[in-house]
Structure 1
């Protein structure tokens, strides 16, 4: 994906902010705990926070001492976050221009967002706001295609709905080093670590279609193509015993990429 295409996809979510807030899953608490485990202190930045799906899990940790701030560039997404989590400090900004002082956080986390960062610019910015020994962690919810019907859904949905980081094996291959700061410069980062944690989301066929409709690949499609793709997904779900009637659990893994600032 070139820079123009990345920007188009990354800026597509605002128009679907309400649906994103309603339908996207949260993150496994065990994954968040692992992501933050090496952090030297309680100050956590959720960068590219969207409507606050990860922020909410972080905010739930406030009773255990977490001090959370969220930063999001899209005004519609940020408005949804502020409505959902009025007690969280939420600022307009981006990974490439973080509105926080030097060394002001102990951890930077990003939920399904780090792949949108221009890391050549964002890497030094993240290093700037991180205290020495601080942690950078990206979290992604990926569909567990070891389950047969999930593998079938991924095949039917196509790459616009189930992209290159949306299944476990693809995530491992695509993410290992691609979304991390370069090790050169004044601030250095250690070796990357990956981990995956079981998760799930209760869905119906209709609400799973609505969830997939918030994927960037579908949001940027021409309307006729988008409706055709969603129609194929809906027909597939109606044909599967596991998903045709009532609620079911969409098997997910919360996958984490973690690195420490040296």
Structure 2
């Protein structure tokens, strides 16, 4: 189906600005992966699907002169247009892309594919890619081997409900018997999001879709638990700068002809 999940529509609409502030950037090595593994250069046409506020688009922008962002949530598109007025951002979903057949050399989804991972989306992405085109999937994954990161997961997980999430692995299902793409090929990079606790913890997790969409009383409870963690955990208490550990997972998916 092409309807945007309620958690994304409501959560991202109310927290678009906070999303921009709190979400981590990406490791420098990912630029090399985009150029040499996805084959992006200044002559290639590239789509950033589920572009949000343009966090990942900024990494793509220096690599190609033909870049289009697709984002279904209006509030996110407005935030994108404020930050990246030189890049076209258009309304569309993965299941109904407003693009011509075979018009794209590479399509990238950062922090987004789990929202629309189904056979229809893969077929539509296959349609717009040229023969030999490539699909890239990227996620920043929290390093839960760190105890306070695992505690954040414990705080937010009870609220996720039926929200599509990367960690469930359900995004892999469309690839299992796909005639559109080969199996995802993984490259990993370590990354730390550095900043104040307000930025890398509070803004980051209050902008999580299903947290941002909560009623105010429940959102206040999550806020209180996160603040207590920051104030009491020895690795966080009193720190001006927090290093939030991630593993950036980048997947190459080759279009089958």
Q: State the TM bucket, normalised to the shorter chain.
A: 0.7 to 0.9
Once residues 223 and 101 of structure 1 are traced to their aligned partners in structure 2, the CA distance between those partners, rounded to angstroms, is: 43
Kindly state the Cα deviation for residue 180 of structure 1 after the two structures are TM-superposed: 4.2
SS of residue matched to 2:169: helix
1:254 counterpart residue number:
248
Deviations 1:147-189 (A, max 9, x none): 232223323343547x9856xxxx4x616723648513xxx31
Q: Contact 2:156–2:211 (CA<8 Å) still a contact in 1?
A: no
TM-score normalised according to structure 2 size: 0.86
1:77 counterpart residue number:
76
What CA RMSD, in Å, does the superposition of the two structures yield over aligned residues? Answer: 2.6
Once residues 133 and 69 of structure 2 are traced to their aligned partners in structure 1, the CA distance between those partners, rounded to angstroms, is: 17
Change in Cα spacing, 1:15 to 1:193, as seen in structure 2 (3 Å) is same
Q: Contact 1:103–1:131 (CA<8 Å) still a contact in 2?
A: yes
Gaps of 5+ in 2: none
Q: Contact 1:135–1:260 (CA<8 Å) still a contact in 2?
A: yes
SS of residue matched to 2:131: strand
Which one of 6, 30, 41 corresponds to residue 8 of structure 1?
6
Gaps of 5+ in 1: none
Kindly state the Cα deviation for residue 91 of structure 1 after the two structures are TM-superposed: 1.4
1:242 counterpart residue number:
235
Once residues 49 and 63 of structure 2 are traced to their aligned partners in structure 1, the CA distance between those partners, rounded to angstroms, is: 17
SS of residue matched to 1:194: strand
Once residues 117 and 22 of structure 1 are traced to their aligned partners in structure 2, the CA distance between those partners, rounded to angstroms, is: 24
SS of residue matched to 2:99: coil
TM-score normalised according to structure 1 size: 0.84
Which one of 146, 151, 172 corresponds to residue 177 of structure 1?
172
SS of residue matched to 1:101: coil
Q: Contact 1:181–1:189 (CA<8 Å) still a contact in 2?
A: no
- Please, which moves more after superposition, 150-159 or 238-247? 150-159
SS of residue matched to 2:114: helix
Change in Cα spacing, 1:205 to 1:219, as seen in structure 2 (3 Å) is same
SS of residue matched to 2:173: coil
Q: Contact 2:117–2:171 (CA<8 Å) still a contact in 1?
A: no
- Following TM superposition, where does structure 1 have runs of at least 4 consecutive aligned residues deviating by more than 6 angstroms? 3-6
Once residues 136 and 4 of structure 1 are traced to their aligned partners in structure 2, the CA distance between those partners, rounded to angstroms, is: 19
Q: Contact 2:2–2:94 (CA<8 Å) still a contact in 1?
A: no
Deviations 1:188-223 (A, max 9, x none): 311221222111212322222121001012122221
